[in-house]
Structure 1
Amino acid sequence: MNHESHFTLVKNKINLIMAGLMVGLLVAAFDYSIMGTAMPKVINSLQGMEYYTWPFTSYMLTSTIAVILFGKLSDIYGRKHVLIAGIITFVITSVMCGLATSMFQLIIFRGIQGIGGGILLSLPFIVVGEIFSPRDRAKYMGILGSVFGLADVMGPILGGVITDTLGWRWVFFINVPIGITAVTIIFYSLPNFKLPDVKKNIDISGIITFTLALSALFLAITLAGNINTSPLVEIVGLLVFSGVMLVLFISAEKRAVEPVLPLRLFRNSIFNVSSVESFLAAALMFSGIIYIPLFAQGVLGMSSTNSGFIMVPMLFSLTLASIITGEIISRTGKYKKLVIAEFIITGLGVLLLATMNENTPYYMLILYSTVLGVGSGMAYNIFNVAVQNAFPMRDIGVVTASMRFFRNVGTIVFVPIFGYIMNFTLGSSTAVTASYLQALAISIQNIFLTAIILAFVGLIMAFFLQEIPLSGDETTNS
């Protein structure tokens, strides 16, 4: 089926399809923000404080692997089938998580849930890439991206209310009605696009080596996060194993008929620059999402509820920036200047946040975080649009999934690095001579100083991004 017939087929169902995709995406997007609020109660109920981060880690690992694998499998089996399978997996494992009786069970169920989450985080963007012309994609991706902002604003508040009134298990059970709604809308509205010329060859050796390389890297980073209790030999061993698996993965991809991640993509400069920029943009956004509430609570002495409300303007600006950026790209057909502007605004945001100390008034914290929110929102969809425009239709699935993959990897790599910076500063001599409040303020300042360097690298890279003007036709560039 060519792109024009795709378009005609779905034109009369666009609103319904977008509603289905947004509800599906909302299930996965809520997961991150709701879980954070519920975790202290989960720990009280199931015990296992030492495994506090593992339910997040297992979910993040499997969802990152699933983003790439199922992006490719949807080329073979069709977007609709894979998307519905992803939602059903997510809903069933949500019930399993809600019924978990030990921390070990919760970690395992969260790992399986991550497979559904990874599908939900990439497939809606692939579908938008297929059913809209290059210019229109930007607008509709901005709307899809706004779901993350909504989830980030509402998630912590909803998580708190549900946990306090119904109990933490309902944080998982609430996914069931939302998931059923998404499946119903998608089942009735979305045609099952699949690529006609894709051979049904599953790249088994690619899947295995990719999974092992990423799992070992992930485990090493997680263990290194607490270097005092983890033997260095284990961490180094895992990193070496990850490196060996990466080499085997590259060799498997060269031989595969339908590779999971075709190496030819890396011959395209737009793909390479966009991958690095997605990686950096995610790290910058998470520096704010994690450390602004900590600054508000730990340094300014706010309650957790108020620190949640402090984040609302940042997340609102992020949502709005995502929608407006999509609209601008849609009207102008250009994206490069927006990428440059995005890293300048994000850089300004982290620069302002790096000036904070224990005397900073809360309204300045709101202002600075809102600046970071605008920059982060702009980055949500620019790179999806740029890579979709640079490749033919048959690659849309894998290039879109790759952008989500590199965003996830940016989070995985930098969250522990920010953690090191914080712990190192708190333990250093400057911090020892200061009061705890000053020490905490200095350690958070150092995280934002590191973020300034990342924003600067992102800005330099932006100048190397090649621009192919987006066409408004209902066809895509080859």
Structure 2
Amino acid sequence: MNYESQYNLAKDKIIMIMAGLMVGLLVAAFDYSIMATAMPKVINSLQGMEYYVWPFTFYMLTSTIAIIIFGKLSDIYGRKHVLIAGIIIFVVTSVMCGFATSMLELIIFRGLQGIGGGILISLPFIVVGEIFAPRERAKYMGILASVFGLADVLGPILGGVITDAVGWRGVFFVNVPVGIAAVALILYSLPNFKLGGVKKVIDYGGIITFTLALSSLFLAVTFTGDLNKYPLVEIAGLLVFSGIMFILFISAEKRAAEAILPLRLFKNSIFSVSAVESFLASALMFSGVIYVPLFAQGVLGMSATNAGFLMILMSLSLTMASIITGQIISVTGKYKHLVIAEFVITGIGVVLLATMNASTSPYQLVAYSTILGIGSGMAYNIFNVAVQNAFTLRDIGIITASMRFFRNIGTIIFVPVFGFIMNFTLEITVTLGKTQALVLSIQNIFLAAIVLAFAGLIIAFLLKEIPLSGDTPVTQEEVHGECIEKVK
């Protein structure tokens, strides 16, 4: 393995940096899977079953907003300082969650925790993009992305063990020692790379309008999952308000000296295509993550534990695909053919999953979900690498954060959409019996996923390819007089 970075960091220094980034990322990556295991005990303790999804919902909302805002702020204040701040926020709010005495407190604290989580799932990829030459980035991003697969495999098991041994509050307190270790590693190893020439001006107008626009859109999409509880007029009102805020956001970004999401980025076709593809890839992955275990339990009659073990192969295939894809890009210096392959493989996976019925064997389910996992794992690296290669270091923070942002948006939009498809199908097939109705519902979800995979494949051919350099450091365009300032 080539450990040389574009800043000529020593091998042991790079190992320490990667260790710190991976531990920091692991803290946030574990959050989803551990929380899912602990939530039944949380509900028993704090009551409020009707608010079951809100700790997840508020966390997802604030983390998605934080991805963009702090990606940009790291350009101004340096990656190291923002990353450490993210870990501290996550750890402190984890303790607050652990001491929550009501569901309302937990929901609020989870929202605050999401700010740290958003920083932690984006900044490590920005740092890798900044310290390595283009071709080397894919290799190290593959290693970083493997953390998500590890968390998916071990998270539910760890969450169950901690919850059973010390109670649900322990799943939050366990973040404290891990967070401290991450801070120590990063403080010791990571120089604070800052962009020279960036105006220290915060885009308050952009931050406020962006937050309001995304929050109202997020709530509207969430409310559509229960039309019996939330009337259409409220949802329509939120959508209208969101639209107005997005218009004001665009206006604010046009005038901002340092926009949190510069509109000029969308003029680059590689950025625009990669944003759409990240959006679709995330939706496709979650179609399997959510509905394969449901099929295993609801149709095949498997226990929750066995359904969880069934998902291990999908998670492992996702992890290995991420690492191998990074190695391939590092060797070849090309990515477009891998994007095409990713949507072909993902498409095959969802086509096979759409054929499932009551006679499908667990072995078939494992095979089908593993294929989907391979395709989904390939998507972790490709679009970060593509957009980083299409821009100078001046924009590397915001473009890398944007790819994670659009992945989150894919989840936010399509999880409720899949839920609507399922609920609608269950209602119109209720006379067929519970099991058959569930089969048809899940089949319809994967039929929708086939459409998404086909759209992703067509769009993949529009992606321009700029060969990645293996030995030339990324520099700023001299015409702008930009540089990188290395702060010891």
How far apart are the structure 2 equivalents of 1:357 and 1:45? 38
Secondary structure of the corresponding residue to residue 146 of structure 1: helix
When the two structures are aligned, how many residues end up with a matched partner? 473
How far apart are the structure 1 equivalents of 2:209 and 2:468? 36
Contact 1:269-1:465 within 8 A present in 2 as well = yes
Partner of 1:148: 148
Partner of 2:115: 115
Is 1:35 matched up with 2:32? Answer: no
Contact 2:6-2:133 within 8 A present in 1 as well = no
Partner of 2:279: 279
Partner of 1:44: 44
Contact 1:7-1:474 within 8 A present in 2 as well = no
Deviation of 1:432 after TM superposition, in Å, equals: 2.0
Q: Indicate the larger mover: 45-54 or 7-16.
A: 7-16
Deviation of 1:378 after TM superposition, in Å, equals: 0.3
Deviation of 1:12 after TM superposition, in Å, equals: 4.4
How far apart are the structure 1 equivalents of 2:130 and 2:10? 11
Deviation of 1:164 after TM superposition, in Å, equals: 1.6
Q: Identify unmatched segments of 5+ residues in structure 2.
A: 478-488
Secondary structure of the corresponding residue to residue 376 of structure 2: helix
State the TM-score, normalizing by the size of structure 2: 0.96
Aligned partner letter, 2:300: L
Change in CA separation of 1:475 and 1:282 when aligned onto 2, cut-off 3 Å: same
Q: What are the superposed Cα offsets for residues 367-416 of structure 1, whole Å, 9 maximum, x if unpaired?
A: 00000000000000100000000000110000000000000000000000
Aligned partner letter, 1:454: L
Contact 1:134-1:389 within 8 A present in 2 as well = yes
Contact 2:135-2:469 within 8 A present in 1 as well = yes
Partner of 1:458: 456
How far apart are the structure 1 equivalents of 2:422 and 2:158? 29
Deviation of 1:324 after TM superposition, in Å, equals: 0.1
Is 1:436 matched up with 2:447? Answer: no
Aligned partner letter, 1:131: I
How far apart are the structure 1 equivalents of 2:252 and 2:11? 40
Partner of 1:408: 408
Q: What are the superposed Cα offsets for residues 15-67 of structure 1, whole Å, 9 maximum, x if unpaired?
A: 00000000000000000111111111111111111111100000000000000
Is 1:81 matched up with 2:60? Answer: no
Q: What are the superposed Cα offsets for residues 251-272 of structure 1, whole Å, 9 maximum, x if unpaired?
A: 0000000000000000000000
Partner of 2:446: 448
What pairs with 1:17-416 in structure 2 (closer than 5 Å)? 17-416=17-416
Q: What are the superposed Cα offsets for residues 202-239 of structure 1, whole Å, 9 maximum, x if unpaired?
A: 00000000000000000111111101110111100000
Contact 2:345-2:374 within 8 A present in 1 as well = yes
How far apart are the structure 2 equivalents of 1:263 and 1:278? 18
How far apart are the structure 2 equivalents of 1:234 and 1:90? 33
Contact 1:10-1:131 within 8 A present in 2 as well = no
How far apart are the structure 2 equivalents of 1:7 and 1:245? 41
Secondary structure of the corresponding residue to residue 194 of structure 1: strand
Q: What are the superposed Cα offsets for residues 170-204 of structure 1, whole Å, 9 maximum, x if unpaired?
A: 11111111100000000000000110110100000
How far apart are the structure 2 equivalents of 1:172 and 1:432? 40
Could you list the structure 1 runs, at least 4 aligned residues long, displaced by more than 6 angstroms after superposition.
none
Q: What are the superposed Cα offsets for residues 289-328 of structure 1, whole Å, 9 maximum, x if unpaired?
A: 0011111111111111100000000000000000000000
Deviation of 1:473 after TM superposition, in Å, equals: 2.0
Contact 1:24-1:87 within 8 A present in 2 as well = yes
Change in CA separation of 1:5 and 1:312 when aligned onto 2, cut-off 3 Å: closer
Q: What are the superposed Cα offsets for residues 129-163 of structure 1, whole Å, 9 maximum, x if unpaired?
A: 00000000000000000000000111111111111
Contact 2:6-2:473 within 8 A present in 1 as well = no
How far apart are the structure 1 equivalents of 2:402 and 2:311? 29
How far apart are the structure 1 equivalents of 2:46 and 2:449? 36
How far apart are the structure 2 equivalents of 1:331 and 1:459? 24
How far apart are the structure 2 equivalents of 1:449 and 1:366? 19
Q: Identify unmatched segments of 5+ residues in structure 1.
A: none
Contact 2:98-2:173 within 8 A present in 1 as well = yes
RMSD: 1.1
Secondary structure of the corresponding residue to residue 7 of structure 2: helix
Aligned partner letter, 2:440: I
How far apart are the structure 1 equivalents of 2:293 and 2:163? 19
Partner of 1:469: 467
How far apart are the structure 2 equivalents of 1:310 and 1:424? 27
Contact 1:225-1:419 within 8 A present in 2 as well = yes
Secondary structure of the corresponding residue to residue 193 of structure 1: strand
Deviation of 1:9 after TM superposition, in Å, equals: 3.9
Change in CA separation of 1:6 and 1:198 when aligned onto 2, cut-off 3 Å: farther
Aligned partner letter, 1:435: G
Contact 1:353-1:365 within 8 A present in 2 as well = yes
Percentage identity across paired residues of the two chains: 77
Q: Indicate the larger mover: 468-477 or 185-194.
A: 468-477
Change in CA separation of 1:433 and 1:15 when aligned onto 2, cut-off 3 Å: same
How far apart are the structure 2 equivalents of 1:432 and 1:241? 36
Contact 1:132-1:474 within 8 A present in 2 as well = no
